[in-house]
Amino acid sequence: KAGVTQTPRYLIKTRGQQVTLSCSPISGHRSVSWYQQTPGQGLQFLFEYFSETQRNKGNFPGRFSGRQFSNSRSEMNVSTLELGDSALYLCASSPAALPNTGELFFGEGSRLTVL
């Protein structure tokens, strides 16, 4: 069974640009969560999607957005990039909404560098 796939794995952008990251969950998983990982802040929750609906949103500005498609694939978008957005963005999937399992299956992440 294929794991969680994130693309691209690495990317470099400049301030002011926007970026779109993609996540394909494990087949059959309907919940997709996104986390930002930085050395200073650790792992911070961005949002969770379940059946194409955003169920949770973390404390991030509106420049961070996401969506989920009918096949459970998810994308996140960051507009007007800032230097502080440089991070590893991790996607995680689970079979159902978080209350049912709590266990997440993570992809290898997309490492974004903003210059």
Chain residues binding another protein by CB under 8 A are 4, 6, 33, 35, 42-43, 45, 48, 55-56, 58, 90, 92, 97-99, 102-109
Q: In terms of CB distance, is 14 or 95 closer to another protein?
A: 95
Instruction: Provide, rounded to whole angstroms, the least separation between the CB of residue 42 and another protein.
Output: 5
Instruction: Provide, rounded to whole angstroms, the least separation between the CB of residue 16 and another protein.
Output: 27
Q: In terms of CB distance, is 5 or 79 closer to another protein?
A: 5
Instruction: Provide, rounded to whole angstroms, the least separation between the CB of residue 14 and another protein.
Output: 23
Assign 3-class secondary structure to the chain: CCCCEEECCEEEECCCCCEEEEEECCCCCCEEEEEEEECCCEEEEEEEEECCEEEEECCCCCCEEEEECCCCCEEEEECCCCHHHCEEEEEEEECCCHHHHCCCEECCCEEEEEC
Q: Which residue has the tokens 């050395």?
A: 39
Instruction: Provide, rounded to whole angstroms, the least separation between the CB of residue 35 and another protein.
Output: 8
Q: In terms of CB distance, is 62 or 102 closer to another protein?
A: 102
Q: In terms of CB distance, is 18 or 44 closer to another protein?
A: 44
